[in-house]
Amino acid sequence: MNRSDVLILYNDTQKESTGGPGGAWSGPLSPGFGGDQGKSEANPMEMGPELGLGWALGDGLKDQVLLIKTAWGGKTLNEDFRPPSAGGKTGPFYTRMIAEVQQTLANLHTLFPTAPKEHELAGFFWHQGWNDACGDKPEAYAKVLPDLINDLRNDLGAPKLRFTVGVSGMGGYRPYSDKQCTGALDVLTDTIIPAQFSVANASLHPEFVGTVSAVETRHFHRQAQYSPGSQCYHWNNNCESYWRVGQAMGESMLQLINGKAA
């Protein structure tokens, strides 16, 4: 099951992309571009939000779509992805993320011979937050996330780059059914998720109106007893949850692309 109108490059390593094992996987979008090892023989059907996201974009757009996925686990926005304008030391994975996008686009037709000659960097998706909830400065998220949006636009040369946040709803709503994660889930509910929604709030960030959206995801949580795993920070390894998160984010991005209110 794949679709040739949606291409993907996925790098979960800390090495430069090569288009193959040891750097990044690339090809038509299909199940398998998730987990720690990309499209590996050991886990050939693992998936993350990219599958539902790409399906939504592919169904909603006439043009061919390219997804550039970076997914380095265990990272914070406040430190690992810290953007330059937030002050302090720029996060190494912010730098790596920018380089990954630039390198992929510079080698676009080598990696994807079927790609059109011209392209537009149309949108950016952000689904992250658990590790900031476990850190010592979760309140910084509300300040650093707008900085991330502005710096990405600047460093990628796309001043109106559309930005969609899938909020960190992996634990669902209170009262939480997965008791092993209650402490971090409280921080998500009280601090991280409000910060993620704030960038799409016109009264707080009028500069982002029409170009930034935030998507509710908590109703996509599935209890561990109905899921393949019990890692609440990974949506209990539930493919339905990941599919629905991706679909919702993709549909929200389509609204921004089409100029509709998100």
Count H helices and E strands in the chain, helices first.
8, 6
Q: Does the residue 159 lie in any domain?
A: yes
Q: Does the residue 192 lie in any domain?
A: yes
Q: Does the residue 8 lie in any domain?
A: no
Other residues' Cβ atoms within 10 Å of the Cβ of residue 129: 28
Which pLDDT score, from 0 to 100, does residue 19 have? 46
Q: Does the residue 27 lie in any domain?
A: no
Q: Does the residue 81 lie in any domain?
A: yes
| pTM (2 d.p.) | 0.93
> How many structural domains is the chain composed of?
1
Angle subtended by helix axes 92-106 and 141-155, to nearest 10: 30
Which pLDDT score, from 0 to 100, does residue 198 have? 98
Read off the tokens for 36.
């720690």
Read off the tokens for 168.
């960190």
Query: Distances from the Cα of 225 to the Cαs of 222, 235, 240, in angstroms?
Result: 8, 12, 14
Task: Spell out, as residue ranges, where the chain has pLDDT lower than 50.
Answer: 18-22, 262
Distance between CA atoms of residues 8 and 10, nearest Å: 6
Q: Does the residue 6 lie in any domain?
A: no
CATH of the domain at 231: 3.40.50.1110
Which pLDDT score, from 0 to 100, does residue 45 have? 75
Which pLDDT score, from 0 to 100, does residue 15 have? 59
Edge-to-edge strand list for the sheet holding 65-70? 25-29, 3-11, 65-70
Q: Does the residue 175 lie in any domain?
A: yes
Show the domain range for 160: 51-63+74-257
Q: Does the residue 40 lie in any domain?
A: no
Which pLDDT score, from 0 to 100, does residue 22 have? 41
